[in-house]
Amino acid sequence: MGVSGSGKSVVGAALAGCLGVPFADADDFHPPANRAKMTSGEALSDDDRYPWLESVGQWLAAHASGGVMGCSALKRKYRDQLRRHAPGLRFVHLEGSRDVITRRQSGRVGHFMPASLLASQFATLEPLQPDEPGVIIGIDEGVDAIVQELRRRLDGPGQPMEKK
């Protein structure tokens, strides 16, 4: 989970490959109307997100034995909605500064989400809370280092919330 440009797709795909489980990108579950809205620079409303999150949750439920989904899941209520489908779900909050993420977004080509929506994503973001299952990890390291750290932290005892 995290804002656009935080590395959800790249890190998620690498983690899934390392674990030998399927990967899906929640962006692929958006209906055409959502994509059109974001492409035009308009942020999605909670009403826009609800059916999209239901589709993501159905995928997660269908892969309860193992799978990785790259999904923004910016608000606690969105994560709660996903957990209703997949109660064992654990989140990885990929956290980075606006400067780092802005640089990453400016280098992306062909993505429907314009960089102009980054401010609304940060405004909407409710960071993963200590009572939510998962970990927070900084995105300053390379993908391989992030995946190694995730494996260590997700496989270890408990689910620490501190940022690395």
Residue 122 belongs to a domain with what CATH number?
3.40.50.300
Among residues 67, 83, 82, 75, the alpha carbon closest in space to that of 124 is found at: 75
Domain presence at residue 1 = no
Instruction: Name the token pair of 82.
Output: 């996903």
Structural domain total, the chain: 1
Distances in whole angstroms, Cα of residue 71 to Cα of each of 93, 128, 132? 10, 13, 16
Domain range for 98 = 8-155
Q: What is the mean pLDDT of the chain?
A: 88
Domain presence at residue 77 = yes
Among the ranges given (44-48, 77-81, 113-117), the one the predictor scored with the smallest mean pLDDT? 113-117
> Is 109's pLDDT higher than 70?
no
The rounded distance, in Å, linking the Cα atoms of 2 and 138 is 11
Among the ranges given (31-40, 47-56, 98-107), the one the predictor scored with the smallest mean pLDDT? 98-107
Which residues does 7 contact at the CB level (< 8 Å), separation at least 6?
94, 96, 104, 139, 143, 146
Domain presence at residue 27 = yes
141-147 contact pairs (CB < 8 A, 24+): 143/7, 143/10, 143/11, 143/14, 144/14, 146/7, 146/11, 146/14, 146/94, 147/11, 147/14, 147/15, 147/18
Q: What is the 3-state secondary structure (H, E, C) of 42-73?
A: CCCCHHHHHHHHHHHHHHHHHCCCCCEEECCC
Among residues 119, 82, 89, the alpha carbon closest in space to that of 5 is found at: 119
Give residue 117's pLDDT: 75
> Is 7's pLDDT higher than 60?
yes
pLDDT band (50, 70, 90) for residue 163: very low
Domain presence at residue 160 = no
Give residue 149's pLDDT: 94
Instruction: Name the token pair of 3.
Output: 């804002």
> Is 110's pLDDT higher than 80?
no
Look up the pTM and report it: 0.86
